[in-house]
């Protein structure tokens, strides 16, 4: 049985799934063998995944059959389990909670080798629609305090087929807690949202702006921890990703598509991760939070330093990253005359 354990000094939650090493090494061996052979996320393999909980599919197709464009299924190897009561146990200095939660996979496209940069904007919008639907659906369960959406792409990801993990957690992850605390502290001093202030300032200086659309801003973070670290924020204050409106989907999709395309044209086989950071849920809801996405590129330039120290070394200035990405994005989306 998996456990959620909290480190008492830094207050980080970790899911300990507690498998035996024999089982893990067998899994690793299977993955090595499977690589490049069969993919459980490709069309025609629907029976190899658990039954779908959501799909965008053509009206004549049937559930768990072919004919879908986006498909969401429970993870076959979930870190968290949906059934059971959440027990919270203290053992001296240590906090523990049962690993109850949901762990789902969004299979983003039928095409095994696609990425957002090569997909149509409408297809990427379908992926965002699935994110939002799962975020809204999973919060119906009052036990969950946070929805996490995370996507990895590129070499090193066990299954290459484009997919995203969606987790509903019974605890609030440290990263979100830190951001909430920082925003509340900022709000306490200035009575304004820190991210709204950043957006205003970055738009007026422009040096770290990658692309601005009517409703969203993509920027290189002032103190970026990683090369090409990119934040995407709604320009109007909104605390919850679930509040994303239908008319925002294609615009955000277009922005993500152009960013992914830019990373692909700048970097050879880019490995990158994307997370959605959004307000905790239910009684932990924080309207002063400002939801956003963070993209991080994994480059083998500086390895392991931050692991032991928490001190990041970034060899690429955010202003330079913004200049490069802005150039690529502008090439894909030439400004209309009069813009």
Residue 13 touching Zn ion (CB under 5 A)? no
Chosen residue from 2, 3, 42, 157 binding Zn ion by CB under 5 A: 42
Find the part of the chain contacting Zn ion (CB under 5 A) among 47-55, 85-93, 99-107, 277-285.
Answer: 277-285
* Nearest distance from C-beta of residue 289 to Zn ion, angstroms: 8
Nearer to Zn ion, 174 or 323 (CB): 174
- Please check whether residue 3 is in contact with residue 98, taking contact to mean a CB–CB distance below 8 angstroms: yes
Closest CA to 163 of 206, 98, 106: 106
- Please check whether residue 219 is in contact with residue 322, taking contact to mean a CB–CB distance below 8 angstroms: yes
Residue 71 touching Zn ion (CB under 5 A)? no
* Nearest distance from C-beta of residue 322 to Zn ion, angstroms: 18
All residues at 6 or more sequence positions from 283 whose CB lies less than 8 Å from its CB, including other chains: none
The total of other beta-carbon atoms located within 10 Å of residue 255's CB is 24
Find the part of the chain contacting Zn ion (CB under 5 A) among 33-41, 52-60, 100-108, 208-216.
Answer: 33-41
Nearer to Zn ion, 71 or 103 (CB): 71
Cα radius of gyration (the chain): 20
Spell out, one character per residue from 219 to 248, where the chain touches Zn ion: x when CB under 5 A holds, - when not: ------------------x-----------
Nearer to Zn ion, 82 or 196 (CB): 196
Nearer to Zn ion, 176 or 209 (CB): 176
The total of other beta-carbon atoms located within 10 Å of residue 164's CB is 23
Chosen residue from 277, 281, 286, 324 binding Zn ion by CB under 5 A: 277
Q: Cite the beta strand spans of the chain per DSSP E.
A: 3-6, 13-16, 54-57, 68-74, 88-91, 94-98, 102-107, 146-153, 163-169, 209-212, 216-220, 230-234, 272-277, 292-297
* Nearest distance from C-beta of residue 261 to Zn ion, angstroms: 21
- Which residues between 127 and 166 bind Zn ion (CB under 5 A)? 161
Q: What are phi and psi of 313, to 5 degrees?
A: -120, 115
- Please check whether residue 233 is in contact with residue 199, taking contact to mean a CB–CB distance below 8 angstroms: yes
Chosen residue from 54, 195, 226, 289 binding Zn ion by CB under 5 A: 195
Chosen residue from 6, 57, 71, 290 binding Zn ion by CB under 5 A: 290
* Nearest distance from C-beta of residue 146 to Zn ion, angstroms: 13
Residue 193 touching Zn ion (CB under 5 A)? yes
State the sign of the Cα–Cα–Cα–Cα dihedral 272, 277, 249, 41: positive
Size of the site for Zn ion (CB under 5 A): 11
* Nearest distance from C-beta of residue 83 to Zn ion, angstroms: 29
- Cα separation, 176 vs 164, in Å, equals 19
Chosen residue from 4, 6, 13, 41 binding Zn ion by CB under 5 A: 41
Residue 35 touching Zn ion (CB under 5 A)? no
- Cα separation, 34 vs 287, in Å, equals 45
Nearer to Zn ion, 144 or 291 (CB): 291
Residue 200 touching Zn ion (CB under 5 A)? no
Half-sphere exposure of 91 (CA within 13 A, CB side): 9
Residue 181 touching Zn ion (CB under 5 A)? no
Plot region of 291 (φ>0 → left; ψ -120 to 50 → alpha; else → beta): beta
* Nearest distance from C-beta of residue 163 to Zn ion, angstroms: 9
Q: Which residues bind Zn ion (CB under 5 A)?
A: 39, 41-42, 112, 161, 193, 195-196, 237, 277, 290
């Amino acid at each position: 049985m998996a456990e959620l354990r909290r480190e008492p000094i830094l207050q980080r939650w970790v899911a300990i799934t507690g498998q035996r090493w024999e089982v893990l090494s067998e899994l690793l061996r299977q993955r090595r063998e499977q690589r490049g052979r069969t993919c459980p996320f490709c069309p025609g393999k629907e029976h190899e995944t658990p039954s779908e909980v959501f799909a965008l599919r053509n009206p004549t197709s049937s559930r768990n059959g072919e004919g879908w464009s986006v498909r969401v299924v429970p993870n076959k190897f979930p870190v968290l389990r949906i059934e059971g009561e959440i027990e919270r146990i203290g053992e001296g200095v240590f906090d523990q909670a049962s690993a109850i939660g949901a762990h789902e996979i969004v299979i983003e496209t039928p095409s095994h080798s696609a990425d957002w940069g090569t997909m149509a904007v409408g297809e990427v919008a379908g992926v965002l629609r699935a994110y939002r639907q799962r975020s809204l659906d999973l919060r119906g369960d009052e036990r969950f305090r946070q929805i996490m959406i995370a996507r990895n792409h590129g070499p090193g990801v066990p299954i290459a087929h484009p997919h995203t993990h969606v987790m509903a957690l019974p605890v609030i992850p440290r990263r979100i807690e830190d951001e909430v605390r920082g925003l509340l502290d900022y709000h306490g001093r200035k009575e304004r949202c820190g991210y709204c202030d950043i957006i205003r300032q970055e738009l007026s200086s422009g040096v770290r702006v990658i692309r601005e659309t009517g409703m969203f801003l993509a920027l290189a973070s002032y103190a970026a921890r990683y090369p090409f670290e990119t934040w995407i924020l709604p320009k109007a204050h909104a605390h919850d990703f679930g509040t994303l409106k239908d008319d925002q989907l294609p615009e955000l999709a277009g922005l993500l598509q152009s960013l992914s395309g830019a990373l692909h044209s700048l970097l050879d086989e880019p490995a990158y991760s994307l997370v959605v950071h959004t307000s905790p849920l239910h009684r932990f809801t924080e309207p002063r939070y400002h939801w956003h996405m963070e993209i991080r590129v994994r480059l083998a330039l500086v390895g392991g330093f931050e692991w032991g120290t928490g001190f990041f070394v970034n060899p690429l200035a955010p202003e330079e990253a913004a200049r490069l990405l802005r150039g690529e994005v502008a090439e894909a989306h030439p400004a209309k005359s009069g813009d």
